[in-house]
Chains A and B, each alone.
Chain A
Amino acid sequence: MTTIQSQNRTTAEAFNWLDNIGQVQGSQDINIYVGRRNAYIPSGEQNLDGNKWKKENNLIYFNAKSEGLPYNGLVVKDGTNIYVFGNEIDGDIAALRELVDNQEFYFSKSGTDRVDYISEEDLDGLFVFDYLHTDENTEVNINGF
């Protein structure tokens, strides 16, 4: 990754990037657990900075609310663990997109805990569902992931 970055950036940018990011990678391990069937996702209700979340009945509950849609997803950074999962594969992917979109928080040097929920009204989540269910893509058993 370091090599790719340095190729895409100017020399000065690459040095700056290594100065600020490289140390994080070298000094701190982050475990990322992806997918609703991942056994490392803790069971029972979790509390993170006043936000309560859990996976129950194969559904995500965020602050007691469960919307039950395939693209509902959750990204949680709790210490050095990041959990990324959804109600279905749609939610898994939507949550991964959220992780990438908010990488500045999840991979920051400060390591601040954070929770992001892909709700019913999250258009990015809806777009993921829409894309996965085009006629071409529904020919694949997407739930087989």
Chain B
Amino acid sequence: MVFKNLKLILVYSILILTVPSIFALTLQELIDSYNFGYNDGTLNINLFNDYMIDSNSNGQNDTLIINITVNATYTAFFEVYFDLVEESGTLSNKINQSLSSGISNVNVSFDTRLLTKNKYNYSVRIYNTTNILVFSKYSIETNTYSGFENGTSINKITDENLNNNYVRINLTLNVTQNQDANITVYLKFNETTISATKQATLTSGIQTVSIDFDNETIKSSHHNGNFTLDSLLIGRKLIHPSYSTSIYNFEDFAKTSYFRNYSSAGIDTNANNLSEFLEVNFTVAVKNTNTYEIQAEIYDQFNNFVKNLSASQSLSVGNQTVSIRINGSDIYATKISGPYILSVTKLIENGNITDKQFEPHIISNLTYTDFERPPLPDLKLNMTVIFNQTTNQSNVTINISNIGESPTFNVFLDIFNNETFSTTNNTVILNINESQIYNFIVTNVSNATLFTAIADFDNLVDERNESNNIMQNTPPTIVSLAIESLTTMYSNGTLKIFEFVILNDGDTAVTDVQWWFDTNDSNRINSTSNISLAVNERAFVYIQYNFSDEGSYSVKANATGLSQSTTISSSLISAVGVGDLAITSFKAANIDIANVIFEIQAQNNLLQNLTNLNWSLTTADGNIINSTQQFSSIQPNETIFIFVNYDYGRTGTFNPIASVTNQTYSDSKTITLDIKHIQAYNLSVVNESGSKRIFEFIIKNSLNTNLTGVNWTFDTKHSNVINNTATSVLQPSEQMFIYIDYNFTSSGTFNVNATAINGTLTDSRNLTITI
């Protein structure tokens, strides 16, 4: 099973987590599942062979020979490596060999005294002359061997503490060959290794070799516990012993000063829950009174640099604590989240590093937002939008200002609307209390277009207040309610059914809508419950009402409602005719002495057409005037106008009657006319001098017969009434001119009156003059 990409590994990892453990894969199994071999096609190797020989003919094999058969595609020099896989590493050997094109054999030998096992896995690596790998194959098995010459082996391992100056590893070796060899011991703890090397002269037989780890090496481990003897190198022979030392405490071996402990905390001096400082405390075990320098670096857990720490301080012997404070605002300014890691610490004495540690302390439970803010800018927006209804353009003005405590740089301002307009502007620098104004004319917009301005959209500017970076114009809210229509749905005599429609024609909801309906018949019908209307929603109201009498009425529908505490109302008046066929108006439109023009208005109050309508006028002086042409069709609610000219030719009071009928429906109406035959007119001042005035007025006979006994009177309104002294006779259409000379003798305003008199009939005219 070979994983060919990370996704597969991920899938398998998930499988490991989700399927029963029988399918789980260990890391070693995962590694073993790979084929690390490689072949660029230069060489083809199919035969791998190995055997042992006795090179010195002492009756015991001493050399392992590995042979491979190579089929080369071209002739060249190659470096061929063979790696025997030991538990603690590899034992490698190489040969430089020219390989001819075609089949060649390559042999490499290993001294069996370097071997520690009877059977090996080995790999073959072949490089060309430019040191590029052309072939590799892994996990090839050798034969199983026994009885070959073994090299030096370990009989016993012990360890001891030499007066806290050294940790000594004593190796009891069974040496098989005299040799001068470097012996290196590797001690492992917490994934860290320390080593010590000693050059030793080994002679055949049992021999003890001691390798010492000096106190500074032990101290540098900062380890208190066992060490594992991970591997041992004797010359070229690598041995993987299984040995654990006694417990050693690095502090026991320390002869120079070292870091003993670390702590850290946020310092909130003003109790506002924001720390003014990050304090890191270094506890130093001082071995020598001196001035020490402490250096450290703080990173986050993702290797982002946060801050350097350093301090120099004179320390006396003993455990001393050095506190280093960092400004909290500096931590905040990094915007790097905690937890933080003290990545490396160094203790320096006289310019020499006496102790150092990697990642010895984690500053947990603190992140940058826990610290005081530095002086920050604060961007604030103001926007005005003026819409031009004529051009459908909006004049957008945006004022971006810095109301914070520090300048800000590179401020981006995005402006867009809810249609297609969008633009971005940039301000290089905005000092404290400085503003920048942007102005745009945006075309093809409406009064309802919503404009939005956002400062620092990507939040590149750290601000004191981030909530005032967005501004939107507020399109005017239209609160409105309308009576959309008022119609008669049904009519039967005086019974009517009305419909009126209440429409919310604004752009906001209206609640608590109430209505009332005025019948214009001394009745008002009120709604009994409130309703709410959403935008463009309608309420249909139906009212049945039986009018007390036929006639023409101005009914009125009214509605009121609430929107955001604003009371709005609307009403609609409609004239309705009650009854079937009705004369809605009959009057004398004009009277010229005895010549009268009558106006008759008749309305079809039915919900159907009326046909063949006739009319007649009974003049009340013995004449009846009938229509000569019928109204063929009158539609519902339609009003017809009839004008009749009639000359009474004499004085008198008359009660003419107008009638309309279509045989089925009819109506009539009468009025009273007072026809006067005498007329006074043209009252005027024709001459004046001081308080003296000369008045003129005219009396005319409007009859077509002689008018006898014509008299007049003139009231000066100055305590004097001037009366005619003799009556007159006027022929038809004859006029009589009267001139009156009067001295008012005093100043004042006088409303003089001239009256023509014929028996009981009079006709007067007034004139106001000022003396």
Q: Is the CB of A10 within 8 A of B461?
A: yes
Tell me if B233 counts as interface (CB < 8 A to partner A).
yes
Complexed CA–CA distance, A141 and B132 (Å): 11
Decide if B195 touches A108 in the complex (CB within 8 Å).
no
Question: Interface digits, A116-137 against B, CB 8 Å rule (1 contact, 0 not)?
Answer: 0000110100110111011100
Q: Is B166 an interface residue when CB atoms closer than 8 A count as contact?
A: no
B374 on interface, CB distance cutoff 8 Å: yes
B89 adjacent to A64 (CB under 8 Å): yes
* B358 engages A64 (CB within 8 Å): no
**Chain B 204-220: CB-based contact to A (< 8 A → 1; otherwise 0):** 00000000000001001
Give the contacts of B477-531 with A (CB-CB under 8 A): none
Docked-complex contact B4 and A59, CB < 8 angstroms: no
Q: Check A68–B299 contact: CB distance below 8 A.
A: no
Most buried by A among B38, B127, B220: B38
B303's nearest neighbour on chain A, judged by CB, is A104
Q: Are B6 and A131 in contact (CB under 8 A)?
A: yes
Contacts of B233 in A (CB 8 A): 64
With the chains together, A89 CA to B133 CA distance in Å?
A: 10
Q: Given the known A-B contacts A112-B344, A127-B9, are A63 and B231 also in contact in the complex, defined by CB atoms under 8 Å?
A: yes
> Is A1 positioned at the interface, with any CB of B under 8 Å from its CB?
no
In the complex, the answer to whether A121 meets B195 with C-beta atoms within 8 Å is: no
Residue A3 lies at the interface, judged by CB distance under 8 Å to chain B = no
CB distance from B117 to the nearest CB of A (A): 16
Cβ of B580 to closest chain A Cβ, rounded Å: 86
How far, in whole Å, are A133 and B602 apart by their CA atoms in the complex? 104
User: Could you tell me if A21 and B462 are in contact, using CB atoms closer than 8 angstroms?
Assistant: no
Are A102 and B184 in contact, with the CB atoms below 8 A? no
A90, chain B: closest CB distance, angstroms: 9
Q: Are A126's CB and B31's CB within 8 A?
A: yes
B409 touches A109 (CB 8 A): no
A101-B88 in contact given A16-B330, A129-B34, A130-B4 (Cβ < 8 Å): no
With beta carbons under 8 angstroms apart, the residue of A63, A66, A129, A144 that contacts B36 is A129
Between A12, A21, A63, the greatest number of chain B beta carbons within 10 A of the residue's beta carbon is seen for: A12
Query: Given A16-B334, A104-B343, A131-B5: A11 and B408 within 8 A (CB)?
Result: yes
Contacts of A47 in B (CB 8 A): 195
Contact of B238 among A64, A104, A127 (CB under 8 A): A64
* A16 adjacent to B333 (CB under 8 Å): yes
Q: Are B90 and A63 in contact (CB under 8 A)?
A: no
B462 contacts across to A, CB distance below 8 A: 10-13
Contact across chains for B85 and A20 when beta carbons are under 8 A apart = no
The answer to whether B744 has its CB under 8 Å from any CB of chain A is no
Contacts of B136 in A (CB 8 A): 70
The answer to whether A67 and B408 have CB atoms under 8 Å apart is: no
When C-beta atoms are compared, the residue in chain A nearest to B185 turns out to be A64
**A58 CB contact (under 8 Å) in B79, B217, B358:** B79
A16–B308 Cα gap in the complex (Å)?
Answer: 11
State the Cβ distance, B754 to closest chain A Cβ, in Å. Answer: 99
Against A, the Cβ 8 Å flags (1 = close, 0 = not) of B172-191 are 00000000000010100000
Say yes or no: B92 contacts A66, CB within 8 Å: yes
Q: With both chains docked as a complex, state the minimum distance between the C-beta of B107 and any C-beta of chain A, in angstroms.
A: 17
The answer, yes or no, to whether B194 is at the interface (CB within 8 Å) is yes
The residue from B88, B344, B410 contacting A110, defined by CB atoms under 8 A apart: B344
With A10-B460, A126-B31: A58-B184 Cβ-Cβ less than 8 Å: no
Q: Which residues of A have CB within 8 Å of B88?
A: 64-65
Q: Which residues of B contact A65 (CB under 8 A)?
A: 88-89, 231, 238
Name the interface residues of B14-40: CB closer than 8 Å to any CB of A: 27-28, 30-31, 34, 36, 38, 40
A61 to B90, CA, bound (A): 9
Within 8 A of A (CB), among B444-497: 460-462
What per-residue 1/0 map shows which CB atoms of B286-307 lie under 8 Å from chain A? 0000000001010100010101
Which residue of the partner chain, among A20, A37, A50, A63, contacts B307 with CB atoms under 8 Å?
A20
Cβ-closest chain A residue relative to B407: A11
Bound complex: CA A67 to CA B83 (Å): 9
Q: Which residues from chain A contact B93 at a C-beta distance below 8 Å? A: 57
A54 CB to nearest chain B CB (Å): 12
B27's nearest neighbour on chain A, judged by CB, is: A121
Decide yes or no whether A49 CB sits under 8 A from chain B: yes
In-complex Cβ contact of B220 among A50, A52, A88, A131 (8 A): A50
Task: Flag if B299 contacts A104 (CB, 8 Å).
Answer: yes
Set A13, A17, A105, A130: member contacting B6, Cβ < 8 A: A130
Interface string of A69-84 (1 = CB under 8 A from B): 1100000000000000
Complex: how many Å from CA A135 to CA B307? 44
Instruction: Tell me whether B380 is interfacial, beta carbon within 8 Å.
Output: no
Minimum C-beta distance from B146 to chain A (A)? 26
On whether the beta carbons of A109 and B333 are closer than 8 Å, the reply is no
Residues of A within 8 A of B460 (CB): 10-11
Residues of A within 8 A of B184 (CB): 52, 64
Min CB gap A41→B, angstroms = 13
Q: Which residues of A contact B330 (CB under 8 A)?
A: 16
Asked if B94 is an interface residue, CB under 8 A from chain A, the answer is: yes
Q: From DSSP, what is the main secondary structure of chain B's interface residues?
A: strand
* Docked-complex contact B308 and A109, CB < 8 angstroms: yes
- Chain A contact-residue range equals 35 or more
Report Cα–Cα, A144/B133, bound state, in Å: 8
> How far, in whole Å, are A134 and B299 apart by their CA atoms in the complex?
35
B700 contacts partner chain A, Cβ-Cβ < 8 Å? no
Cβ–Cβ < 8 Å partners of B81 in chain A? 57-59
- Return the chain B residue nearest A15 by Cβ: B333
List A contacts of B409 (CB < 8 A): 11
A31 at the interface (CB under 8 A from B): no
Nearest A-chain residue to B377, judged by Cβ: A11
Given known A-B contacts A17-B305, A59-B90, A121-B27, A130 and B79 have beta carbons under 8 A apart: no
Q: Does B676 sit within 8 A of A, measured CB to CB?
A: no
Is A27 interfacial (CB-CB < 8 Å)? no
The chain B residue with its CB closest to the CB of A90 is B36
Counting chain A CB atoms within 10 Å of each CB, the highest count among B6, B299, B305, B334 belongs to B305
Distance A57 CA – B95 CA, assembled complex (angstroms): 10
Question: Chain B nearest CB: distance from A24 CB in Å?
Answer: 9
A17 to chain B, nearest CB (A): 7
- Once bound together, how far apart are the Cα atoms of A114 and B343, in whole Å? 12
Asked whether, in the complex, the Cβ of A143 is within 8 Å of the Cβ of B193, the reply is no
Q: Are A64 and B186 in contact (CB under 8 A)?
A: yes
The answer to whether B238 touches A112 (Cβ under 8 A) is: no
Distance A13 CA – B376 CA, assembled complex (angstroms): 12
Q: Out of B30, B40, B297, B307, which one reaches A143, CB within 8 Å?
A: B40
B358 touches A105 (CB 8 A): yes
Query: Within the assembled complex, what's the spacing in Å between the Cα atoms of A13 and B335?
Result: 7
B3 within 8 A of A: yes
Name the residue on A nearest B125 (C-beta).
A58
**Is residue B131 within 8 Å, beta carbon to beta carbon, of the partner chain?**
yes
User: Complex Cα distance A23/B646, Å?
Assistant: 118
* Interface of chain A residues 87 through 109 with chain B (CB within 8 A): 88, 101-105, 108-109
Whether A104 lies near B297 (C-beta < 8 A) is yes
Q: Report Cα–Cα, A142/B335, bound state, in Å.
A: 40
Residue in A10, A66, A123, A133 whose CB lies within 8 Å of B335: A10
CA distance in complex: A46, B308 (Å): 30
Q: Which residues of B contact A66 (CB under 8 A)?
A: 83, 89-90, 92
A58 touches B305 (CB 8 A): no
Using a CB–CB cutoff of 8 Å, the interface residues on chain B facing chain A are 3-6, 9, 27-28, 30-31, 34, 36, 38, 40, 79, 81, 83, 85, 88-90, 92-94, 123, 125, 127, 131-134, 136, 138, 184, 186, 193-196, 217, 220, 230-231, 233, 238, 295, 297, 299, 303, 305, 307-308, 330, 333-335, 343-344, 346, 356, 358, 374, 376, 408-410, 460-462
Shortest Cβ-Cβ A-B pairs, 3 listed: A65-B89, A12-B333, A57-B92
A-B pairs with beta carbons under 8 Å apart, 12 shown = A12-B376, A50-B220, A59-B90, A61-B89, A65-B238, A88-B133, A104-B299, A108-B297, A130-B3, A130-B34, A143-B38, A143-B133
